[in-house]
Each structure stands twice: as C-alpha cells, then as structure tokens.
Amino acid sequence: MTRKRFANLWHQMVIQKWTIRKMAKEIGMPERELGQKLNGKAEFTLKEMRALQAALGYHPLDYLFWEKQILPTSKADL
C-alpha cells in the first residue's frame, strides 16, 4: 500500500501545475526544505501552511494537510 502524506496538497499542486521548485520560490522557502516537509521528513509551521494555502487558492488547511491512506491501485501495490 502506498502512503502519500498530504495527498490533497499534492493533488492541488498537480492540478495547478506547481512544481516543488516553483512553489518553493513562490512561498520563499528553499526547494530542498519544501521537499523534505512535503515528504514528511520535517514539519510545516503555520506560517508556511498559510503561504501554501494562499498559493493554492485558499482551500481549507484541514483539506490541504489531511493525511490519508491511499488504497492500492493494483495487485503489485499489495
């Protein structure tokens, strides 16, 4: 099973064609730091969460930062 932290945040980034590099520049954060936070290796501050929220069109924070277990898409994921 694949676990994707902040699946809704990733989904909005894909829909809106944001790369980690472009988003990091937009919110004033080093690219590597944003990547680590998106992948769960570090935690976001509220200020950073609000900057991402603004860049993505003000979706509720509990939607963007909801952690969800993604179901397997094929037998290979089991």
Q: What is the pTM of this model?
A: 0.78
Give the pLDDT confidence of 22-33 residue by residue, as tens digits.
Answer: 999 999 999 999
Domain spans in the chain, listed from the N-terminal domain onward: 7-64
The CATH code that applies to domain 7-64 is 1.10.260.40
Check residue 52 and give its pLDDT.
96
Check residue 77 and give its pLDDT.
47
Check residue 5 and give its pLDDT.
84
Q: How far apart are CA 35 and CA 42, in angstroms?
A: 9
Q: Which residues of the chain have pLDDT under 50?
A: 1, 71, 77-78
Residue type, 17: K
